[in-house]
Amino acid sequence: AQSVTQLGSHVSVSEGALVLLRCNYSSSVPPYLFWYVQYPNQGLQLLLKYTTGATLVKGINGFEAEFKKSETSFHLTKPSAHMSDAAEYFCASNNAGGTSYGKLTFGQGTILTVHP
């Protein structure tokens, strides 16, 4: 069974600082990986996704993530945090080629706080 672990339930950064949100996955086959963002009192929005090909994936709002198979990781980064980045971020996976099409497995979520 696949699982997703996000290290750190809360991350706090200063405006302009680097954002690093950690995600590790456990899967018997290479998964498809996603980062979603949830702003307060809203649904989830897709930030970026990795399926195949280039391991460095760029998403919306200046975020990017790198798939590292050797480390089973898919960490989310942004060079310079903005106040508007404050939200909860979820890493999710879906096993490619399995019978679990469409059935995302989510991590526990990381709440990002940005200080002025």
Partner 1 sequence: NAGVTQTPKFQVLKTGQSMTLQCAQDMNHEYMSWYRQDPGMGLRLIHYSVGAGITDQGEVPNGYNVSRSTTEDFPLRLLSAAPSQTSVYFCASSYAPRLLDNEQFFGPGTRLTVL
Q: Give the binding site for partner 1 (CB under 8 A).
A: 4, 6, 9, 32, 34, 36, 41-46, 49, 51, 90, 92, 94, 96, 101-104, 106-109
CB of 115 to partner 1, least distance (A): 22
- CB of residue 108 to partner 1, shortest distance in Å: 5
Residue with Cβ nearer partner 1 (43 or 116): 43
* C-beta closer to partner 1: residue 4 or 112: 4
Nearer to partner 1, 13 or 92 (CB): 92
Do the beta carbons of residue 31 and residue 80 sit within 8 Å?
no
Minimum distance from CB of 107 to partner 1 (Å)? 5
Query: Distance between CA atoms of 40 and 32, rounded to whole angstroms?
Result: 26
Distance CA 94, CA 98 (A): 9
Maximal C-alpha separation, the chain: 46
Q: How far is the CB of 85 from partner 1 (least distance, A)?
A: 19
Give the residues across from 56 on adjacent strands.
66
Residue 80 tokens read as 């310079």
Q: Give the CB-side neighbour count of residue 65, counting CA atoms within 13 A.
A: 29
